Each structure stands twice: as structure tokens, then as C-alpha cells.
Amino acid sequence: MSLLQNSLKNNVLPNLFPPAWLWLVDEAIPKWVKKSYSPQESWKDKPFTNEDAKFFSKGVEELSELFTEERPKGMPPYFQHPRYRSGYLLYFLPLQAAKFLTLYQTYPRAIDAALQFAKKEGVLRIADLGVGPGTASLSLLLVLLGRKLERGEELPPVELHWFDTNLSVMKDGQFLVEELANSFPKLRGKVKLFLNDLPWWKAPTRLPESLALTLMGHVLNESSAPKSETGLFWEEILRRSQGGGVLMVEPAARRPAQVLSSLRDEFLTSGLIESSPARIWGPCIHAGACPMAEGRDWCHFSVPVQIPGKWFRGFSEGLGSERQWLKYAYLWVASSEFPAPVSAPHLRRVISDPLGRGPRPEVLICEPEEAGRWTVSAHGPGERAGVMRGDLISIRRPSQVSVKSPKRPKGFGLT
């Protein structure tokens, strides 16, 4: 069973992007960027052109250089610079939004849980912390727009509670949310947005008591939160996120991935969440200690995808690396009221790409507290060919299991 078993076909994700995606990335975002960030007044109300793309590509390129796999300790507050904000909107917003779309569609039952809770509450309350330009929220609105509704059914009213220390970039996102809601009847008049100029760890001071879903994208990797304040934050945010739980997405690098793994273990051992796999949508299918919370390897995923969009494709080519894979680490905690389904005991999550070449390459699988000590043939009897990182596979047949730990290629862990 694949991590994206309902969407993955021929190594691409044809159904990942909702119909409104191209409207957002090829029309709404370029229009706003040109109107807000063009240096000359005469440019602002004209269509976005190749010349505009060339002009704004400098910000994309400079920002890309800052976004190394391991962020430097002296990471500048890039959203304070208009050149970087425009570059982020044009290129990095679609890139990060695609990661959230992948996860929303990998765990549709988590979105169902958020909507079921919203039906009971009368409103879909979403907290988006360290929101930037609202990437995670915009992705969710696109998913809601593409959702098939029963006859007579309507989407519930939506409240977005945003928190960030940069008000300017939140206002960029505010325009895009309002433009999206006003342009599509399914959302028209249903979305309210609340901007909070506060760091994410102070969000409980202003959040409602109950939330349908909490989102955090690339927050912990750049966080300077004092440890003395984050303990109460996690207690409050887990308690209040009573629908679809809490989704955290980070870069596919060792430090942020292991921060997520350590947080997960802390939630379980401290009693903030019950020690049950039903309290985790993913990626874990067990409640034992994470085998990758420290050491040379770390839990992350890569998914083959072609991100649609004329301007996104152009900026990718300009960077010399056209995006064909989405790479990320994540943790999605389920609420107690809407638990995640528990996987059969013979299933394991694949946590590596195939190791080595040959007719029967091996892969590492996640065993609680046993960091990559078991390997499974990627082409075992009765299994489909092409096992990928993130897949769920069965180890029920002993002939498929080996206790020998293979030599891993240098640099294993970062695909």
C-alpha cells in the first residue's frame, strides 16, 4: 500500500492539484505581485509578462540561496524584504502549497474529521501558526473547493486564525484568500480571516477554545521560541485542536525532521496524547519510540510530482533544477475525538529509497525503537514492483524479511 495509494499512478500525481490551482499560481499570485511589488507605477495594472518574470527572478534566486537544507543560525528575517516576499509568493508558495496538498489528499479522513467537527460547531476554525503568506490555509481552501458535496450540502463557514510576526506578508496572503473566496461561489461569503501579529508560541492567548485543525508549515525549522514558553503552548494547542488534529510540515533535512520525531516522543511519553497509534495520522503507524529521533538517519519523504504552472515552471528552470519531487518531513497528530485508523500489526512503513541496484534491492523499514535494523526485499513474492519511501508493506511472510542490516550508501537519508 502506497503513502498515496489512491493518487499515485505512473510515478506522477495527476489528481493532486485541484482545478483552482492554475488560477491561483498563474493569475492571482502574479497579479498581486506585480501590483504590489513593481518599482514603477505604470507597470502595476498591466498583465504579468516574461519581462516581469525576469525582473522578479532575482528575488527568487537570492531566496533560494538562503534556503539551504540546513538553515544557518543567522537566518535573516527574509519576509521583511519586499524582494524576498515577492520571490516567495511567486515560487516558494506554490512549492510549499503542493506539499500540503499531498498530505491533505494522503489523509482525507483527517480532513473529514475537521469537517465533522466543524458541522458540530457550526464553523470550520483553522489555526495557521507561523503562517507567512497563508500557504497551508490556501492549500486547504483549494481542497475544499475541489471537494464533492452531497446534494443540498454546503461547506461550513470558515474562520482562519493566522499568527506571524510579519504583518506585511500576512496581508499578501490576506489578499489571496479574499480573492480566492470572492472568485468561487462555493466559498463566497464564507471565509473570515483574523490576523494576529504574534509569534506562534503565543497563539493560545488569542485562539478560540476549540479548533477544527491546526497547521504549522516550516515553523520549527526557523523558530527562536524560548523553551520555557513552548511547553504550555503544546499542551494548549493539542487540547484545543479537537477535529483534524495538528499538522506540522518541515523541510526534509535532518535537524527539523528529528525535531518532529522528538516532539512526537515527548507528546507520547508526557501524556499530552495517549500512547496509541490512533493518536497519529502519520507518518508513524506505531506508538513506540521513534527510531530516527537521533543519529545519522531521519524520517522524511519524497513524492514524484510535476507542479503545474507556467510561471512556477519558468522559475524552476531558471534555478537550474526543475522540480520533479516534493520532499518534506511531517507529523500529523490526531485528536482523541476523531482518532486515526490503526494499521494491521504486520504492516511497516518504508523509510528509505531502494538501497543498491539489482533485481532485488532492499529497503529500510520503521520498527519501533529499532532504527533501520530490518530490511525487506523491494520485489518480494506477491508484492508490487517499485516499492518507494513512505509505502506501507507487509512483513507477514518470513521469506521477505532479513535481519541483516545492509551497508548504506554514503549520505543516505537525504534524497
Instruction: Give the tens place of pLDDT for each residue, 115-127.
Output: 999 999 999 999 9
- pLDDT of 367: 82
Say how far apart CA 322 and CA 327 lie, in whole Å: 14
Q: Please give the angle made by the CA atoms of 99, 101 and 107, to the nearest 5 degrees.
A: 105
Edge-to-edge strand list for the sheet holding 401-402:
362-364, 375-377, 401-402
- pLDDT of 371: 47
Q: What is the mean pLDDT of the chain?
A: 85
Strand partners, 375: 364, 402
Give kind and range of the element (H or E) at residue 290: none
Backbone angles phi, psi at 234, to 5 degrees: -65, -40
**Beta-strand runs (E) in 305-378:** 325-333, 347-349, 362-364, 375-377
- pLDDT of 73: 54
Q: Are 331 and 352 in contact (CB under 8 A)?
A: no
- pLDDT of 396: 65
Residue type, 22: L
The cell numbers describing 301, all together, are: 519523504
For the chain, what is the total number of helices (H) and then of strands (E)? Answer: 11, 13
Question: pLDDT tens string for the chain (415 positions)?
Answer: 434 433 333 333 446 899 899 999 999 999 999 999 998 888 888 999 999 999 999 999 988 888 764 454 556 678 888 889 999 999 999 999 999 999 999 999 999 999 999 999 999 999 999 999 999 999 999 999 998 887 778 999 999 999 999 999 999 999 999 999 999 999 999 999 999 999 999 999 999 999 999 999 999 987 777 777 788 999 999 999 999 999 999 999 999 999 999 999 999 999 999 999 999 999 999 999 998 898 888 999 998 888 999 999 999 988 887 677 899 999 999 999 999 999 998 888 988 888 777 666 778 888 876 644 455 565 544 444 467 888 888 876 544 443 333 333 332 232 2
- pLDDT of 13: 42
Mention every residue, 6+ apart, whose C-beta is less than 8 A from residue 339.
276, 278, 279
Q: Which of 196, 167, 179 is nearest to 79 (CA)?
A: 167
Say how far apart CA 55 and CA 46 lie, in whole Å: 15
Polymer length of the chain: 415
Give kind and range of the element (H or E) at residue 162: strand 158-163
- pLDDT of 14: 43
The cell numbers describing 183, all together, are: 472568485
Give kind and range of the element (H or E) at residue 213: strand 213-217
SS3 21: helix
Looking only at the bridges linking them, the beta strands covering 280-282 and 301-304 are unpaired
Does the domain at 21-71+78-253+300-333 match CATH 3.40.50? Answer given as yes
Domain ranges of the chain: 21-71+78-253+300-333
Q: Are 93 and 175 in contact (CB under 8 A)?
A: no
Mention every residue, 6+ apart, whose C-beta is less than 8 A from residue 81.
none
Say how far apart CA 91 and CA 236 lie, in whole Å: 34
Q: Calculate the alpha carbon distances from 123 to 213, 230, 279, 305, 327 in Å.
A: 12, 28, 23, 33, 32
- pLDDT of 360: 67
Say how far apart CA 218 and CA 130 lie, in whole Å: 8
- pLDDT of 242: 96
Instruction: Give the tens place of pLDDT for each residue, 329-345.
Output: 999 999 999 999 999 98
Backbone angles phi, psi at 84, to 5 degrees: -75, -35
